[in-house]
C-alpha cells in the first residue's frame, strides 16, 4: 500500500514540478528560493496525502502560501538591516578634534534620519547596497524584486538622502546646476 502511494506521488511530482516551479517564480521568487518552496510544498502535500482530495490544488495553494511567507520574511530581514545604521553613531574618532567629532556625529544622525524617511523597500535596498556593499543582483534576490527595481530604489535612495541633507544644511538644490 505504501509503495503504491509512493509511486503515485513520484508520478504526481514528475508531472507537476515544472508548472509549480514556474508558478512560484511568477510569484516573484528567485530560482533557488522557488526550488526550496516547491520542495516544501510537495513535502506538505505528501504529509497530508491521506486527507487531500485534490493534491495538485493543495500543492499550488501551499506553494503560494509558502511564497508569501518567504516574501514577508525577506522584507522583514531586509528592513532589519537598517538597524546597522545605528552602528554609525558608535564609530571611534581617534585623533579628531571635538568639533570634528560633533560634526561627524551630526552627519551620522542626519543620514540615519534621511534613510528612515525612505519607503520600506527602498530603505531596505539602499541599506543593503550602502552598508553591506551587496550587488544589485543579490539585493534583488533577497527582496524578491527585479534588478531594475533595485536600481530605481538605489537611485531614489541617493536622490532623497542627498536632497534631505542639502535641505538640512541649507545648500542650494543641485538640479539646476547641470550635474
Domain ranges of the chain: 2-77, 91-174
In tens, the pLDDT along 62-119 reads 999 888 887 776 665 555 555 555 444 445 556 667 777 777 777 778 788 888 888 8
| Contacts of residue 145, Cβ cutoff 8 Å, sequence gap at least 6 | 28, 121, 125
Q: Which helix (H) or strand (E) holds 72?
A: helix 55-80
By residue count, the chain amounts to 179
| DSSP secondary structure letter of residue 94 | T
Measured distance CA(157)–CA(111) in Å, rounded? 11
In tens, the pLDDT along 125-140 reads 888 888 788 889 988 8
Angle between helices 2-26 and 31-47 (to 10 degrees): 150
| Predicted confidence (pLDDT) at residue 120 exceeds the cutoff of 80 | yes
pTM of the model: 0.45
Work out the burial of residue 67: count CB atoms within 10 Å of its CB; fewer than 13 is exposed, 13-18 middle, 19 or more buried: buried
Q: Degrees (nearest 5) of the Cα angle 174, 85, 175?
A: 5
Query: 91-174 belongs to which CATH class?
Result: mainly alpha
Among candidate residues 128, 132, 131, 154, the one with its CA nearest the CA of residue 142:
128
pLDDT of residue 149: 92
Amino acid at each position: 500500500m505504501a509503495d503504491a502511494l509512493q509511486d503515485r506521488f513520484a508520478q504526481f511530482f514528475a508531472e507537476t514540478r515544472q508548472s509549480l516551479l514556474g508558478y512560484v517564480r511568477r510569484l516573484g521568487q528567485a530560482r533557488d528560493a522557488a526550488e526550496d518552496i516547491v520542495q516544501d510544498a510537495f513535502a506538505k502535500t505528501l504529509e497530508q496525502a491521506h486527507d487531500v482530495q485534490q493534491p495538485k490544488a493543495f500543492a499550488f495553494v501551499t506553494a503560494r502560501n509558502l511564497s508569501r511567507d518567504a516574501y514577508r520574511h525577506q522584507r522583514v530581514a531586509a528592513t532589519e538591516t537598517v538597524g546597522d545604521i545605528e552602528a554609525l553613531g558608535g564609530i571611534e574618532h581617534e585623533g579628531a578634534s571635538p568639533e570634528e567629532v560633533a560634526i561627524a556625529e551630526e552627519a551620522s544622525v542626519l543620514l540615519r534620519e534621511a534613510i528612515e524617511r525612505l519607503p520600506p523597500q527602498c530603505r531596505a535596498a539602499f541599506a543593503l547596497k550602502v552598508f553591506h556593499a551587496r550587488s544589485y543582483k543579490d539585493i534583488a534576490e533577497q527582496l524578491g524584486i527585479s534588478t531594475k527595481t533595485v536600481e530605481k530604489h538605489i537611485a531614489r535612495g541617493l536622490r532623497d538622502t542627498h536632497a534631505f541633507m542639502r535641505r538640512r544644511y541649507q545648500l542650494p538644490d543641485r538640479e539646476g546646476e547641470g550635474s
